[in-house]
Amino acid sequence: MNAFMHHKQPVLGVSSCLLGMNVRYDGSGKQHSFISSILDKYFELLPICPEVAIGMGVPRAPIQLRILDDQLHAVEVGNHAQDVTLDLQAYGQQQATQAHAFCGYIFKSSSPSCGISDSTIFSEHADHTGPGIYTREILHALPCLPVIDERQLDRKEAKDNFMERVFAQVRWNQILTGPMTVKLLIGFHMTHHLTLSAHCEKSHEALSASLSGLHDPLSRDAINNYLKQFHAGLRVPLTHDDHVRMLTKLQRCLSTIISSGETGKLDTEIRKYMESSDSLVTSLQLIKELADAYNLYHLSRQTYINPIPAEIALRFSTQQEKSYDH
């Protein structure tokens, strides 16, 4: 069993410096308040600093990414003979084998070891950017793992998308406690039917079609291909218009079942959302209540209208969080 499976809370990998740990080359930290003060209420945050893990001291000479002999290297600034590339790669490969039960990973931006895409790579010809040495190994081994850096986390749209994918990964990890079966996979897919449809209808249709020919026992490739397409769909940003489209679709489905008074109330809430995106949770709450009242189990179990309280707290405002109590 994976070493992290026994944890009571979902596990997020986090660059140690973002938790305020003084592990940077100059002996400082880079504490991020949302991570250390908010996320720690809902997740077990596992601090990881690859440079310290491979034995580099604190403080230490800084390293940089540089193209040498047409190969990418992590070397000490001003002393290219001090090369820690292989050590960082080996630690990344080692950590990746232990991180399959992570629900996400928050990296330090611009870091030569931990950057996701903005680490500076120096070259005689033209400098450019890319992932850090350690991060490359994690992303290669775990391409579906939700990842973000602290700069992206400060942008609401990026944060919301990351948190949505994180909670989807939590649900995925929960069904991996035993062998994956076609029944489990289809059940997981069906609960995310509306969520996937909201992000990208074409992607959702293609993913649904890919399930039709599956049979037990499922191959590892079939499972990985599904998860890859699933997260690709969720990476498509959700817009206000996407939510309006989904709310209107749900309203049409319910209109033949619910009373005229309930129809009017739902119409009012959806119109409020169309005018202001602040009332999305209220509309979703009302749809969930109607689905429960009319025993529409297939609808009430949808993650789109029934996010868990932790997801509401992290993706919506405090006021909305308090109003959504189920």
CA 177, CA 253: separation in Å to the nearest integer?
35
More confident residue, 28 or 124: 28
Q: pLDDT-derived band of residue 7, with 50, 70 and 90 as boundaries?
A: low
Average the pLDDT over 242-258 and give the result.
96
* Mean local confidence (pLDDT), 137-143: 97
In this predicted structure, the answer to whether residue 19 has a pLDDT above a threshold of 90 is: yes
Share of the chain above pLDDT 70, in %: 94
The pLDDT, as a whole number, for residue 278 is 67
Which of residues 42 and 312 earns the better pLDDT score?
42
Determine the average pLDDT of the residues in 127-148: 97
Is it the case that residue 282 has pLDDT exceeding 60?
Answer: yes
In order of 164, 286, 307, the CA distances from 311 in angstroms are 7, 17, 6
From CA 204, how far away is CA 219, in angstroms rounded? 21
pLDDT on residue 1:
35
Answer whether residue 326 shows pLDDT above 70: no
When comparing pLDDT for 317 and 307, which is higher? 307
What pLDDT sits at residue 317?
A: 52
Which range among 122-126, 169-173, 251-255 shows the weakest confidence by mean pLDDT? 122-126
Which phi and psi angles does 135 have, rounded to 5°? Answer: -60, -35
Separation CA 132–CA 144 (nearest Å): 18
Express each pLDDT in 46-103 by its tens digit. Answer: 999 999 999 999 999 999 999 999 999 999 999 999 999 999 999 999 999 988 889 9
For residue 277, pLDDT beyond 90: no
The residue ranking higher by pLDDT, 277 or 138, is 138
Token pair 């232990």 is found at: 98
Q: Which pLDDT value is given to residue 324? A: 37
Distance CA 293, CA 117 (A): 47
Q: What is the pTM of this model?
A: 0.91
Is residue 186 exposed (0-12), middle (13-18) or buried (19+ Cβ within 10 Å)?
A: middle
What does DSSP assign to residue 40?
G
Check: CB of residue 16 under 8 Å from CB of residue 114: no
Taking residues 132-157, what's their average pLDDT? 97
Alpha-helical segments (H) within 154-300: 156-174, 182-191, 193-199, 201-210, 220-235, 240-255, 260-275, 280-293, 297-300
Please give the order of strands across the beta sheet that includes 119-122: 79-83, 71-76, 63-68, 119-122, 128-130
